[in-house]
Structures are given as C-alpha cells and as structure tokens.
Amino acid sequence: MEEIDPKTGMKIRKLAELKPTTAQEYQESMLKRVDTFSQKRESSFNSFIENTIVNGLKTILDLKVKVDEALGENKDKVHGIVEKLLLFGL
C-alpha cells in the first residue's frame, strides 16, 4: 500500500477504499474467525468476555447494514451530512 513519489522520494500511503459492503464483509470474516476458534477447546476465543465483545460487534455491524439498507439511495446524502458534522465537531 506504499508508493515512492519519484519527484520527492517520499513514501506515500494509499487510504483503504470503503465500499458500502465493507461492514458486511468485516462481519462475515469476524464470524468465520469466531467459528474457527470456537471449534478449538484450547483457544483464547472461548473466554466469556471475548465472545461477549465479538457478539456486541456483530450486533453493531448488523445494525449498520440494516440502516444502510433502510436508507437506500439517501445513504450517500446521510453519510455526507454525518461527515460534515464530524468535521465541524473536531
């Protein structure tokens, strides 16, 4: 993800591109990871606290996906408004 600018010789990092399905992809990969580790008895992912955290994150990601689906075409407008509010708040 790094490129070297030929003019200045400086390293430039590219930002990750966020897609509307990013939350859903993270959720699916997290659930696969939890399932993989839950099958192993000696795994650190079997502790109650870590499973609670993962289930909390799963719930948040589910909510985000449902909100995006509910907004439909207005999603980009709402994202723009939220970004402006966050920029003014910082």
Hunting for tokens 């999603």 — which residue is that? 75
The pLDDT, as a whole number, for residue 41 is 57
Name the 3-class secondary structure at 40. coil
Is 50 among the domain residues? yes
Is 67 among the domain residues? yes
Q: Which of 59, 57, 65 is nearest to 23 (CA)?
A: 65
| Domain span including residue 39 | 21-89
Q: What is the pLDDT of residues 17-49, one digit of tens each?
A: 666 677 788 888 888 887 877 676 555 555 777
Is 59 among the domain residues? yes
Is 5 among the domain residues? no
* CA atoms lying within 13 Å on the CB side of residue 26: 15
Is 30 among the domain residues? yes
Is 7 among the domain residues? no
Residue 55 Cα distances to 31, 46, 66, 68, 71, angstroms: 9, 12, 16, 20, 24
Domain count, the chain: 1
pTM of the predicted structure, to 2 decimals: 0.39
Q: What is the mean pLDDT of residues 67-81?
A: 84
Residue ranges of alpha helices (H) inside 1-90 are 22-38, 48-71, 75-89
Mean pLDDT is lowest, of 12-26, 43-57, 72-86, for: 12-26
Is 77 among the domain residues? yes
Q: Is the pLDDT of residue 54 over 70?
A: yes
